[in-house]
């Protein structure tokens, strides 16, 4: 292994310094053999590790492939994935404020009817979307209501009925059973989403104030609804809904407006918790 001819006249400087190499040149055979064994051993171990690693990877990949793919019912509507964004939710916002002149206006500005979309019937069928009512002006299209807008509509109805009840109004804008349905829809939806975000506590009956949540992009949803709008409007406020025919809802485009905002932070809570990222 160390068979370099140190005596060679090609390396006169080595000749001079021969003593420096004595450990290598003059080392006993036993030492050399030990060294070779160590190197060979090391190579063996490395190779064995690599082979075992490859086998393990292959085995685990096989296990994954063998696992049942997630079952999707045939009749479940296939939808696009919505881009996500991180948002900080506030315990109290302008939508919660007690000046009802202002908050009622914000809530009234919400236009859940923006969530009505019209899609080509054949395309909808190809995406496993259930059959649905036809667009009155175009028989080749089905009308759908996007879930988020449906739930938003529900929240506005619950709020309205709630305050009308607190204020002991003679007449409710919406039949209270409608709000009852909405509350139960929220219950089922929350159970369905099973959100596992851990909310921090402060011992003051608040939870998760200002904390980040992983959200779907509302802008993306709004744009999707705008691009496929069914041009539907809710029953105008001053009209008796029982005397407002279905056809009268259609043909009113909102120009992409849904009145939805995240809502400026408000209220007295200051927990002093610092989260990184933009305000
Ligand atoms: C509530 O808001 C309205 C509109 O901004 C304002 O005119 C009114 O003075 C406010 N009321 C109270 C009690 O702050």
Residue whose CA lies nearest to ligand 1 atom number 1: 99
99 within ligand 1 shell (Cβ under 6 A): yes
Atom 12 in ligand 1: which residue has the minimum CA distance? 99
CA dihedral 259, 153, 94, 266 (to 10 degrees): -130
Q: At what angle do helices 147-166 and 218-227 cross, to 10 degrees?
A: 110
What is the pLDDT, as a whole number, of residue 278? 62
pLDDT (0 to 100) of residue 64: 67
Burial 225-251 (b: 16+ CB within 10 A, else e): bbeebbbbbbeeeeeeeeeeeeeebbe
Ligand 1 near 102 CB (within 6 A): yes
Give residue 265 CA to ligand 1 midpoint distance, Å.
18
Q: Maximum Cα–Cα distance for the chain, whole Å?
A: 117
CA–centroid distance, 267 to ligand 1, in Å, is 16
Model pLDDT, residue 65: 65
SS3 label, residue 42: helix
pLDDT at site 40: 85
Among protein residues, the one with the nearest Cα to ligand 1's atom 5 is: 102
Q: How far is the CA of 99 from the centre of ligand 1 (A)?
A: 6
Q: Is the CB of 101 under 6 A from ligand 1?
A: yes
- CA-nearest residue, atom 10 of ligand 1: 99
Along the 279 residues of the chain, how does pLDDT read in single tens digits? 444 444 444 544 445 554 554 455 555 677 778 888 788 888 888 888 788 888 887 777 676 666 777 899 999 999 999 999 999 999 999 999 989 999 999 999 999 999 999 999 999 999 999 999 999 999 999 999 999 999 999 999 999 999 999 999 999 999 999 999 999 999 999 999 999 999 998 878 888 898 999 999 999 999 999 999 999 998 888 888 788 888 889 999 999 999 999 999 998 877 767 777 665
pLDDT at position 180: 93
**Best of 94, 98, 102, 266 to mutate for ligand 1, by most ligand atoms within 8 A of CB?**
102
Check residue 13 and give its pLDDT: 47
Report CA(266)–ligand 1 centroid distance (Å). 15
Domain boundaries, the chain: 38-68, 78-215, 216-262
CA of 102 to the centre of ligand 1 (A): 7
Token digits for 246? 């279905």
Q: Is the CB of 104 under 6 A from ligand 1?
A: no
| DSSP 3-state of 207 | strand
């Amino acid at each position: 292994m160390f068979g370099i001819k140190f005596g060679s006249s090609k390396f006169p400087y080595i000749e001079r310094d021969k003593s420096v190499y004595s450990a290598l040149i003059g080392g006993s055979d036993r030492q050399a053999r030990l060294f070779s064994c160590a190197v060979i051993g090391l190579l063996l171990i490395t190779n064995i590790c690599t082979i075992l690693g490859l086998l393990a990877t292959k085995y685990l990949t096989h296990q994954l492939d063998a696992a049942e793919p997630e079952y999707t019912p045939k009749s479940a509507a296939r939808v696009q994935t919505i881009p996500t964004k991180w948002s900080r939710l506030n315990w109290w916002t302008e939508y919660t404020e007690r000046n009802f002149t202002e908050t009622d206006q914000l809530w009234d500005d919400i236009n859940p009817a923006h969530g009505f979309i019209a899609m080509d019937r054949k395309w909808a069928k190809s995406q496993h979307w259930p059959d649905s009512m036809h667009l009155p002006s175009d028989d080749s299209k089905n009308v759908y209501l996007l879930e988020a807008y449906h739930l938003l509509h529900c929240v506005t109805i619950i709020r309205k009925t709630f305050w009308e009840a607190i204020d002991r109004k003679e007449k409710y804008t919406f039949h209270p059973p409608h709000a009852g349905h909405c509350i139960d829809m929220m219950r089922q939806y929350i159970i369905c989403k099973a959100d596992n975000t851990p909310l921090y506590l402060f011992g003051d009956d608040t939870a998760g104030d200002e904390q980040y949540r992983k959200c779907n992009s509302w802008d993306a949803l709004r744009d999707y609804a705008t691009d496929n709008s069914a041009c539907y409007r809710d029953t105008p406020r001053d009209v008796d809904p029982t005397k407002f025919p279905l056809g009268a809802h259609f043909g009113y485009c909102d120009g992409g407006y849904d009145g939805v905002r995240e809502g400026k932070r408000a209220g007295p809570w200051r927990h002093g918790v610092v989260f990184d990222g933009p305000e």
